[in-house]
Structure 1
Amino acid sequence: MSKVKYYYDPESLSYKKIERKKRTTFKYAFIFMLASAFFGFIFVFIASQYVESPKERALKRELQNAQLQFELLNKKMAEAETVLANIADRDNNIYRVYFEANPIPEEQRRAGFGGINRYKNLEGFDNSKLIIETSKRLDILQKQIVVQSRSLDEIAKLAEEKEKLLEAIPAIQPVSNGDLTRMASGYGMRSDPFTKVRKMHWGMDFTAPKGTPVYASGDGVVERADNAATGYGNHIRIDHGYGYVSLYAHLYKYNVRKNQKVKRGDLIGFVGSTGRSEAPHLHYEIFKDGEKINPINFYYGSLTAEEFNKMLENATLENQSLD
């Protein structure tokens, strides 16, 4: 119940009841509400500046966690870059040197991304610099990994080719030392056994009894196994690939046929004296890119140092060939 207020009227010398007008009541009420709204706004403003809401605290924690994750990501990328740099160094200075491949230029390995701004959509945020730098670093790292991966694929292919080349090169003596009577004649100017005239002897003659096994000196495919070439009699030619061909002449008989694949050390025929031959022996030649070369340089796969030196000494003697 509202209190009734009075005022003293000096003219009537009596107390009269105060009658409040509705307009005055409304004015006071409006002023009170306006003042309340003002002070409420001030309180909310101050609270928003100095007091965090639960939602703001949650967002702040998420932001701190995101920054921490970016820092951890950058540390992991630094470790990955160190490992990748080590692989790239070995790739350029060991693998590619060994397999005779050109090194990958450093500018190609570390090239960035030119042209349009790829990171424009990441600009305008509080941590834009951190996000953009991390994104650039990650993109460059991914590109380096792709370059290195392709390089290792190339090295693997070169290694496979190198292995095939080493298996293909005619690298062993075609007649075992235990079966040899002697190494009769080497590559170079020799006396012809029939005309007694000095002429070029394009291979090496290994004397051995008729029927002595003859072995393929490297992997390859039998190109010929016939007696259609003048002077060679029964002979075999093996195409080793990479420009190498080996020839085995004056055979007694064959153990292979044309187009047959053979491995180094496979039995391909037997020593004989067919064709233009003075006595049972194997005439052995090597071709490289169509040119006849000295077979003396291709026995690293079967002879000891002492055996090779002895063969080299005999091969340099200007004696009489057997064909």
Structure 2
Amino acid sequence: MSKVKYKYNPETLSYDEVELTWRDHLKKLSYYAIASIVASVLILFFSYGYIKERGKNEVQYDIEKHEAEILELKSQVEDLKEISSYLQQKDDDIYRVIFGADPYPEYKRELGIGGNPNVKDKYKDLKHGDLLIEVSNKIAMVEKKLYAQSVSFDSVVAMAKKKEELLQSVPSIQPVHNEDLTHIASGFGMRMHPIYKILKMHTGLDFTADIGTPIFATGDAVVEDCKTMSGYGQIVILDHGFGYKTHYAHCSEFKCKKGDKVKRGDVIALVGNTGASVGPHLHYEVLYKGSHVNPVNYFFNDLSPEEFDEVVRISSQPTQSM
């Protein structure tokens, strides 16, 4: 039903009833639609400006935040470079010196340093591209130096283990109890042979002791042989590795067998009087790379400096070997 509308009539000075047609309604609706569209456009215009400005501020904030993060990362990379240099100095000047090793080759530390060539293309168009390229190259450099350092430390650890094994294996104690240093009967060098009565090279030390006195391995070793040998009588031969061997001659009894692994201080035999011997004693020899060396120089583990000097004095006296 059409809505009733009144219109003033100046002739009759009264309001006459006017009925609105569908065109009038359509026209009125058009006005509302146009007004709504205009209002929406105005709202969108002002909102776009606000959103654009806000978005710009957020982007700028993100850029500044990322720039700060990149600078912080750069600072951390510089700290890592200092740590890497410190570790290198410790490695070359302390650890490798302890084990008598040459410094880790510099060319291996620097191998491949120069950064990733693809980094430049990746970051060159960014606002902070130069900074990103610099940081990326430094990270690559530090990674490679730290890897080289880890390889170097692996070799140092291997040297330490080898050094520990060497220290346990090198002959370094007296082969019989000799706290009062009175049991050395004859030293290393030219001595009068007790049977042939001629000067002959005495290639070891003679320790006087009662038959049955325990004989100790002077370092960790593998028993190379237990046998009877001309002149030496019953002899134990130990292979200590690292070029060292020891001989224990004139034994009365073996306490080990070929192939056994022994530790420093283990009883390997008993003192006897077998072979070319004129009395119960132990003839002890140390060989390094196949050559006889003076055993006195290998008593450093159980002698004080004063006791060592006394042993040297006693063993150097021109006595007859046994």
- TM-score scaled to structure 2, two decimals? 0.81
2:235 alignment partner in structure 1: 235
1:131 alignment partner in structure 2: 132
Note if contact 2:116-2:137 (Cα within 8 Å) is conserved in structure 1: no
Query: How many percent of aligned residue pairs carry the same amino acid?
Result: 38
1:91 alignment partner in structure 2: 91
Aligned residues: 277
Deviations 1:189-242 (A, max 9, x none): 000111110010101000011111110000010001111x21111110110000
Note if contact 2:115-2:138 (Cα within 8 Å) is conserved in structure 1: no
Q: How does 1:72-221 map to 2 (within 5 A)?
A: 72-106=72-106, 108-110=108-110, 112-113=113-114, 116-178=117-179, 182-221=183-222
| Worse-superposed segment, 122-131 or 197-206 | 122-131
State the SS of the aligned residue for 1:251.
Answer: strand
Q: What's the CA shift for 1:97?
A: 1.4
Q: Distance in 1 between matches of 2:244 and 2:169?
A: 8
Note if contact 1:180-1:207 (Cα within 8 Å) is conserved in structure 2: no
Q: Distance in 2 between matches of 1:187 and 1:89?
A: 44
State the SS of the aligned residue for 2:233.
Answer: coil
Gaps of at least 5 residues in structure 1 are: 1-39
Q: What's the CA shift for 1:162?
A: 0.4
CA distance 1:239–1:170, change in 2 (3 Å): same
1:279 alignment partner in structure 2: 279
Q: How does 1:247-262 map to 2 (within 5 A)?
A: 247-262=247-262
Q: What's the CA shift for 1:56?
A: 1.9
Which one-letter code corresponds to 1:261 in the other structure?
K
2:226 alignment partner in structure 1: 225
Q: What's the CA shift for 1:180?
A: 6.8
Q: What's the CA shift for 1:106?
A: 4.2
Q: Distance in 2 between matches of 1:96 and 1:182?
A: 41
CA distance 1:267–1:180, change in 2 (3 Å): farther
1:291 has 2:291 as partner: yes
State the SS of the aligned residue for 1:250.
Answer: strand
Q: Distance in 2 between matches of 1:178 and 1:98?
A: 32
Q: Distance in 2 between matches of 1:84 and 1:160?
A: 24
Note if contact 1:84-1:145 (Cα within 8 Å) is conserved in structure 2: yes
Q: What's the CA shift for 1:109?
A: 2.7
Q: Distance in 2 between matches of 1:106 and 1:197?
A: 59
State the SS of the aligned residue for 1:177.
Answer: coil
Q: What's the CA shift for 1:53?
A: 2.3
Q: What's the CA shift for 1:309?
A: 1.4
Which one-letter code corresponds to 1:185 in the other structure?
S
How large is the Cα RMSD of the aligned pairs? 2.2
Q: What's the CA shift for 1:104?
A: 2.5
State the SS of the aligned residue for 1:53.
Answer: helix
Q: What's the CA shift for 1:74?
A: 1.2
Q: What's the CA shift for 1:183?
A: 0.7
Q: What's the CA shift for 1:117?
A: 4.9
Q: What's the CA shift for 1:118?
A: 4.5
Note if contact 1:231-1:276 (Cα within 8 Å) is conserved in structure 2: yes
1:309 has 2:309 as partner: yes
Q: Distance in 2 between matches of 1:170 and 1:222?
A: 14
State the SS of the aligned residue for 2:184.
Answer: strand
Q: Distance in 1 between matches of 2:107 and 2:261?
A: 45
1:267 has 2:267 as partner: yes
1:68 has 2:68 as partner: yes
Q: Distance in 2 between matches of 1:248 and 1:163?
A: 25
Note if contact 1:170-1:298 (Cα within 8 Å) is conserved in structure 2: yes
Which one-letter code corresponds to 2:189 in the other structure?
G
Which one-letter code corresponds to 2:283 in the other structure?
H
Q: Distance in 1 between matches of 2:216 and 2:306?
A: 22
Which one-letter code corresponds to 1:262 in the other structure?
V
Q: Distance in 1 between matches of 2:252 and 2:295?
A: 22
Q: Distance in 1 between matches of 2:185 and 2:298?
A: 18
Q: Distance in 1 between matches of 2:142 and 2:102?
A: 22
Which one-letter code corresponds to 2:310 in the other structure?
K
Gaps of at least 5 residues in structure 2 are: 1-41
Q: Distance in 2 between matches of 1:240 and 1:182?
A: 25
| Worse-superposed segment, 77-86 or 202-211 | 77-86
CA distance 1:281–1:179, change in 2 (3 Å): farther
Q: What's the CA shift for 1:103?
A: 1.0
Q: What's the CA shift for 1:306?
A: 2.3
2:38 alignment partner in structure 1: none
Which one-letter code corresponds to 1:290 in the other structure?
G
Q: Distance in 1 between matches of 2:156 and 2:139?
A: 25
